[in-house]
Amino acid sequence: MAPTPTSSGASNDVDGVKANHTSALNRAVVTIKPSKRNKNTNAQDQQLPDIRTMSGGDREWLTKGKPVRIFKGDSAPIADVAHRLLFATSTKAQELVNSNDEVHLPADVDKQSVLALIAELDRIIASKNRPTGRLASKKNAYKDLSICGTATLLGLDLYTSHLFNFYWARWREALPTYDEIDAVLKLPASQDHNSSLFNRIAKDLAIYLRGGDIEGMGEIDGFLAERPRLAKAIAEINLGHAEYLKRKQGREERKRKAEEARLRQEAMEKKKAEKEKDRRAKEKVRYEEERTNKAAIEKSIQEKMKVAGKKFTPEEVRHWMNTRGSRPPKGR
């Protein structure tokens, strides 16, 4: 089916998790195959503790001390976060924080996504009891994916991977909605690491459009006409696929011809072998006939030599000369 035009944002069950309740979003991270989890997630995530599992006192300790100031490019600062807290949660803190205790994110980063992440860390820290929920969906694909992209920039994927995996898992089952497609297209380049989301959507749509006579094709064509970047990517993917099929067809054609040539060669060799076998059989028969004939002539000669004056036949004369190297005795 074609992408649905209505905004889905995220499932209605993706708000914070209550006790004894697992939302659809929370299930997404464990129901999809591990190999399909957020490819943006830094492998070092597991080396840091999850502050949601810490005691209240330990979490409060993380808020003490000097702050780290986060900037959007070289513009004015947009947020502060405790130095201890950032280093306890970010897999990239060492490389991001400069000597002035500043983090300069790309200039195109979405400010609100940074604030949302800081707010989530503050929520976890402020909880008197051990936090039971995860970062709630904003019920808006752009906001959710923007937060995920910023989390990758800051090394905070551990706290957003459930959001990313929710969308990624759902797109494995069906095409994204038009609103979700637009959300990905709207993401700043820095927040779609290696263009993984854009490439995923372009590839899925390219495969879908290769089907040809599909219901809603005209609607999708109109949608893509207003989004040239995506349309170009899809066209390039399908062009590459067409070239792949052409190369594959060429390989199969060459393979077919090679197989035909092999079969012809085998047939020729078989025919040649059969001909040689037939020749040898005939030669053997001829040899046996000659041997038998010579034996009969030799026997006749021996019999005639016992009788005086018995003449040899011309054939016996030739046999005598061939076997004895001289002419027969006189009178023979």
Better pLDDT: 217 or 85: 85
Taking only the tens place, the pLDDT of each residue in 130-157 is 776 889 999 999 999 999 999 999 999 9
| Span 228-253, average pLDDT | 96
SS (H, E, C) the chain: CCCCCCCCCCCCCCCCCCCCCCCHHHHHHHHCCHHHCCCCCCHHHHHCCCHHHCCHHHHHHCCCCCEEEEEECCCCEEEEEEHHHHHHHCCCHHHHCCCCCEEEECCCCCHHHHHHHHHHHHHHHHCCCCCCCCCCCCCCHHHHHHHHHHHHHHCCHHHCHHHHHHHHHHHHHCCCCHHHHHHHHHCCHHHCHHHHHHHHHHHHHHHHHCCCCCCCHHHHHHHHHCCHHHHHHHHHHHHHHHHHHHHHHHHHHHHHHHHHHHHHHHHHHHHHHHHHHHHHHHHHHHHHHHHHHHHHHHHHHHHHHCCCCCCCCHHHHHHHHHHHCCCCCCCC
- Tokens representing 214 are 């599909």
Lowest mean pLDDT among 9-18, 52-61, 124-133: 9-18
The C-alpha atoms of residue 115 and residue 103 are separated, in whole angstroms, by 14
Q: How confident is the model at residue 215 (pLDDT cuts 50, 70, 90)?
A: low
Q: How confident is the model at residue 18 (pLDDT cuts 50, 70, 90)?
A: very low
Which pLDDT score, from 0 to 100, does residue 6 have? 46
So what's the pLDDT on residue 263? 97
Per-residue pLDDT, 1? 55
Q: Quick one: pLDDT band at residue 30, thresholds 50, 70, 90?
A: very low
Asked if 56 contacts 127 with a C-beta cutoff of 8 angstroms, the reply is yes
Confirm if 149 and 191 have CB atoms less than 8 A apart.
yes
What pLDDT does 21 receive? Answer: 34
Amino acid at residue number 330: K
Q: Which of 28, 12, 19, 266 is nearest to 132 (CA)?
A: 19
- Of the two residues 70 and 45, the one the predictor is more confident about is 70
Task: Compute and round to an integer the Cα radius of gyration of the chain.
Answer: 44
**pLDDT digit string, tens, across residues 277-286:** 999 999 999 9
Return the closest-CA partner of residue 28 out of 175, 180, 170, 152: 170
Q: Kindly give the interhelix angle for 217-225 and 228-305, rounded to the nearest 10 degrees.
A: 120
pLDDT of residue 249: 96
> What local confidence, expressed as pLDDT, does residue 3 receive?
66
Low-confidence winner among 212-216, 231-235, 257-261 (lowest mean pLDDT): 212-216
The predicted pLDDT at position 14 comes to 45
What pTM was computed for the model? Answer: 0.68
Do residues 158 and 44 touch, judged by C-beta distance below 8 A? no
Q: What digits encode the pLDDT tens for the residues 55-111?
A: 889 999 999 999 999 999 988 899 999 999 999 999 999 999 999 999 999 999 999
Q: Say which residue, 218 or 306, is predicted with more confidence.
A: 306
Rounded mean pLDDT, 189-215: 88
